[in-house]
Each structure stands twice: as C-alpha cells, then as structure tokens.
Amino acid sequence: MYDDTIAAVATAPGEAGVAVIRSSGPRSREILLRIFQPSRSDGSGTTPQSPALSPRAEGALEPRRLVHGWVVDPTGGERIDEALAVVMPGPRSFTGEDVAEVHCHGGHLSPRRVLGAMLAAGARLAEPGEFSLRAFLNGRLDLAQAEAVLDVVQARTSRAHQLALDGVAGKLSEAIRDVRRDLQEPRAHLEASIDFSEEDLPPQDVGPALAAALARVQGLLAEADQGIVYRQGVRTAIVGRPNVGKSSLLNALLRADRAIVTELPGTTRDTVEETASLAGVPFWLVDTAGLRDSSDPVEQLGVARSRSALQTADLVLLVLDGAAPLAEEDRALAGAVVGRPLVVALNKADLPSRLGPDDVRALLPDARCVSVSALRGDGLAELEQELARTALGGLAAADPSVSNPRHKAALGRAEQALLAALEAHAAGLPTDVQAAEVAAAVTALGEITGENATEDLLDTIFSRFCIGK
Ligand code: GDP
C-alpha cells in the first residue's frame, strides 16, 4: 500500500535493559541488512563479518527468527551496538507490511544511533501512530481495536487494562459487526421495495429485526458509562474547610506524601492532583485549597483554582471534621455541593466525636457518609468502596464492551437512527424513509470499527498515539 519504509524507536526513552527500534515497509529487510551483521552461527564469537550485505546476513535472517549480531553504521561501517534482529514479512506482521526490528541496549544513545542508522540506510522517521495507522489501513486490526491498543498502553488500573485487552481482542468489534450484519437483510429489503412494488417482493416485516438490532445497541450503551469510568477515571474534588484533614486524607488514600500537610490553616495553596486506583476504579484526586474567602492574593488564586476544580469534578469528596461542631463554612460548602455526586468523609474519628452521621444526614440528606481517621487509617477501605460505588452511579458490575466516549457517541447515533426507523415503520411511512434511517444506523456503527471513518477522524485518532506505536 505504501512505497516508503518508516522507522521509529518503539520503546520509551531512558535507561532500560532493552530498546526496540522497528521499521515497516517494502524496504525493511533490505535496510536491516545494510545496518546489521549477524555474528557467526556456529557460536564461535560475536565478531561481525564485513561487508554488511554479506550472503551470510541474507541467510541468517529467516522470517520471525531472532538473530544475534551487531548494528553498524551503514556509511562508515563503525559498530553501533550489539543487538538481536528479526524480520517479519507481511502480511503476517503487525502492520501487514514487511517489518524489521532491532532489539538493542536501552539508554540514551543506543536506540537513537540505531534509529539514525536505519534512517541513513533509507528509512523515513515514522509519524505518531503511523505503524498502527498502517495496520488499520491494511486490515490487520479495525479502528476500535487500534484505539484499544492505545488504551492498553495508557491503562492505570488492572480493570481498565483488562477492558482494553478485550477491545484489542475484538470484543466490541465483533458485537458491532454482528449488529451490522443483522441489519443487512432488513436494509436490503427496504431498499429493494423503493424500486419494486411490495407485490413483487416476498412479504417481510422488518420490524422485529430492527427492534432486535436496537436492543443490542442499547445493551452496549447501557454499560458504556461504566466502561468510560474505568477507562478515563473519575475526577474527584476533595473539598472542606481548612484543617479538616483534606491533605492528610489524600495522602492516606495515596499512601504517599505528595500533598503538603501542615498545621497552619490555608497552606494548601495550590491544588494537588494525583491518580489512585480505589476499589479497582481509577480516580483523579484533586486536593483543593480551603474554599474560603481570603485576603491573601496567593491564597485567593488557590481558591479560584479550587472552585474550578469543583466545577469540573465528576464527584465531590466533602471532608468534615468529626471532632468539631459544624462550622458556618461547612454549611456553605454543603450548599455548594448539594445535588452533585457526593461522598462525605467524617474525619478525625480517632478523636472524641462532636459531629455524627446524623448531623451530616440533616445537612445533606442524600449524601453517603463514612467515618474515617486519616491519621490512623480507620475507615479508608470503606471510603474507597463508597467512592467507587458512587462513581459507578450504582450500576451493577458488568463487563462493558464500550469504554470510549467516541464509541458511545456513535452508538447513540445508531440508536437514534434505529428508533426513527422503527417509528417510521410503525407509522407506515414510505420505505425510503425507513431505509435512510437504517442506512444512517449502519454508517454510525461503521464509524466505530472504521468502515465509515473519514480521513479527518483517522488523523484525530492516530495523532494521539506516540511515535513508534
Ligand atoms: P487540610 O487543611 O484540610 O488539608 O488539613 P490537613 O490534612 O493539613 O490536616 C490538618 C491537621 O489535622 C493536621 O495537623 C493533621 O495532622 C490533622 N489531622 C488530619 N487528619 C486527622 C485525623 O484523622 N485525626 C487527627 N487526630 N488529626 C488529623
């Protein structure tokens, strides 16, 4: 499909045992032969043989077999690194094209120099996501699978990771293909009856088939929000008046000392943001500076940031001091967060209680309340469970196939189109109206797997990948 050969470092930069540099395209093998000298196959040493394009190098590089040797500069012949190399001829490769890989030492120099050698030998530096784009365009994986590959790389919790792996394996893709296939017949029937009169066609009621497809689409949609929570995490604002123990609680949840804990009120001036896996759900925890009026300009800035953190949060964790009576600030905060997905942590449970769950219920009747001690760690497991439960919105644990908002949006369009088709069908509207809606549903579904992806959409998706992916 492409006539140029791309190359990039596929592993993350930095000190590491091994780095992988890969190339894809028609000249992959030839380029590898120009920069790689296999060591003797009899195992009598690692002395490279020259020149690079030796018959032995040709013979040693059998498909999909790792070969030990040296990478050399294709212009000067100087040794660059000791490495293993492999060629994977297309179409049975990641991209569907001829692929070559060099596994050299990690670190700052080796990968860069090996890549430099490949470029000097005729490869072009790959664009971000270009390997995956080629894999998609060559039909090695569909769009939903390619996106799931990125999710595997970016997953922060084992649950998110597992869902992403399901996506790579084609769980969603299969479901989408099934629905598209089930829509083929009713669509063909509807389109045929535009051109022929009903009498010329075998009688068929497309209603049940459309309703079945709609039910499957709605089934996928029902789990989507949960999948998105697992994939994206839950932005949680930790709010509370100064000194109730927000930073201490954040630290306790993170089991690390990222936020500054201090005994001076109002010193958490900036917001602190951390990720944590709580009861299997990924959270972005934002510790806000005390939301209170202040004359200190620095603190005011922090307060402004807290307010915006509060506005953009998916969930609010309101911290109250259980060892002190309710303060006016607590009431004001409660008023600000009422109606939001909310969990109340009644902190300092290790001290004599001055504020109980009943007081919290009187203040915020719908909020879930957990007594904790950030200092001693009491109640944290329960708090984690409560946060996870609230984040999932009370949804029963499922194995969602959909976890990407793009897929959810496309499913939503398919749902609307199928609803409109069924309505037109029930109202006995002309078959071309019904057919157009079914076609729109098929197109929307095809955007998920990529059958109906525009170039712009592909650009948007693959440019988010890193170089070498
Ligand atoms: P923030 O201003 O809300 O972030 O509060 P901090 O986390 O800075 O805590 C304020 C003070 O309360 C510190 O002296 C903490 O050690 C103390 N503190 C926090 N959590 C607890 C707790 O569960 N029990 C007790 N006894 N003290 C706590």
Mean pLDDT of the chain: 86
CA–centroid distance, residue 321 to ligand 1 (Å): 9
Average pLDDT over residues 389-405: 82
Whether domain 6-126 has CATH 3.20.20.100: the reply is: no
Ordered strands of the 368-371 beta sheet: 272-278, 281-287, 234-239, 315-321, 342-347, 368-371
How far apart CA 10 and CA 202 sit, in angstroms, is: 56
Residues with CB under 6 A from ligand 1: 240, 242-248, 261-263, 268, 290, 347-348, 350-351, 373-375
Does residue 169 have a pLDDT over 80? yes
Q: What angle do CA 39, 40, 43 make, to 5 degrees?
A: 105
Average pLDDT over residues 98-114: 95
What was the pLDDT predicted at 55?
Answer: 55
Average pLDDT over residues 109-118: 95
* Residues 25-49 pLDDT 10s: 999 999 999 999 998 654 444 454 4
What was the pLDDT predicted at 399?
Answer: 82
CA–centroid distance, residue 291 to ligand 1 (Å): 16
Measured from the Cα of 241, ligand 1's closest atom is 3
CA–centroid distance, residue 243 to ligand 1 (Å): 6
Measured from the Cα of 374, ligand 1's closest atom is 23
Which amino acid belongs to residue 150? L
Measured from the Cα of 244, ligand 1's closest atom is 3
Does residue 265 have a pLDDT over 80? no
Average pLDDT over residues 271-290: 77
Measured from the Cα of 290, ligand 1's closest atom is 2
The answer to whether the CB of 333 falls within 8 A of the CB of 291 is yes
CA–centroid distance, residue 252 to ligand 1 (Å): 11
Going by pLDDT thresholds of 50, 70 and 90, the confidence category of residue 112 is: very high
* Residues 291-324 pLDDT 10s: 555 565 555 555 555 677 778 889 999 999 999 9
Measured from the Cα of 266, ligand 1's closest atom is 2
- The widest CA-to-CA distance across the chain, in whole angstroms, is 85
Structure tokens at 93: 């490769």
Does residue 210 have a pLDDT over 90? yes
**Phi–psi pair at 393, nearest 5 degrees:** 60, 30
Query: Which fold would CATH assign to domain 148-227+404-462?
Result: Four Helix Bundle (Hemerythrin (Met), subunit A) (1.20.120)
What was the pLDDT predicted at 300?
Answer: 55
Higher-confidence residue of 394 and 210: namely 210
* Residues 47-72 pLDDT 10s: 544 444 555 566 778 899 999 999 99
How far apart CA 44 and CA 120 sit, in angstroms, is: 30
CA–centroid distance, residue 248 to ligand 1 (Å): 6
Q: Where do the domains of the chain lie?
A: 6-126, 148-227+404-462, 233-391
For the chain, the 3-state helix, strand and coil shares in percent, each to the nearest 5, are 45, 15, 35
Average pLDDT over residues 209-237: 92
Instruction: Mention the CATH class of domain 233-391.
Output: alpha beta
CA–centroid distance, residue 373 to ligand 1 (Å): 9
In sequence order, the 6+-apart residues with CB closer than 8 A to the CB of 455 are none
* Residues 426-435 pLDDT 10s: 998 888 899 9
Does residue 337 have a pLDDT over 60? yes
Nearest alpha carbon, ligand 1 atom 14: 263
Pocket test for ligand 1, best of 239, 248, 285 (most atoms within 8 A of CB): 248
Does residue 419 have a pLDDT over 60? yes
* Same fold: 6-126 with 233-391: no
Report DSSP state, residue 450.
Answer: T
DSSP 72-141: E-TTT--EEEEEEEEEE-TTSSSSSS-EEEEEEE-SSSHHHHHHHHHHHTT-EEPPBTHHHHHHHHTTSS
Nearest alpha carbon, ligand 1 atom 26: 348
Nearest alpha carbon, ligand 1 atom 22: 348
* Residues 368-394 pLDDT 10s: 999 999 999 999 999 999 999 998 876
Strands (E), 117-224: 124-125
What was the pLDDT predicted at 201?
Answer: 63
H/E element, 69:
strand 67-72
Nearest alpha carbon, ligand 1 atom 10: 243
Instruction: Tell which residue, 333, 308, 310, has the closest CA to residue 320.
Output: 333
Find the Cα–Cα–Cα–Cα dihedral 162, 168, 172, 177, rounded to 10°.
Answer: -160
What was the pLDDT predicted at 15?
Answer: 87
How far apart CA 220 and CA 80 sit, in angstroms, is: 51
What was the pLDDT predicted at 263?
Answer: 45
CA–centroid distance, residue 18 to ligand 1 (Å): 45
Does residue 396 have a pLDDT over 70? no
Strand pairing report for 36-38 and 67-72: antiparallel
What was the pLDDT predicted at 232?
Answer: 85
- Distances from the Cα of 140 to the Cα of 91, 152, 384, 400, angstroms: 8, 17, 41, 24
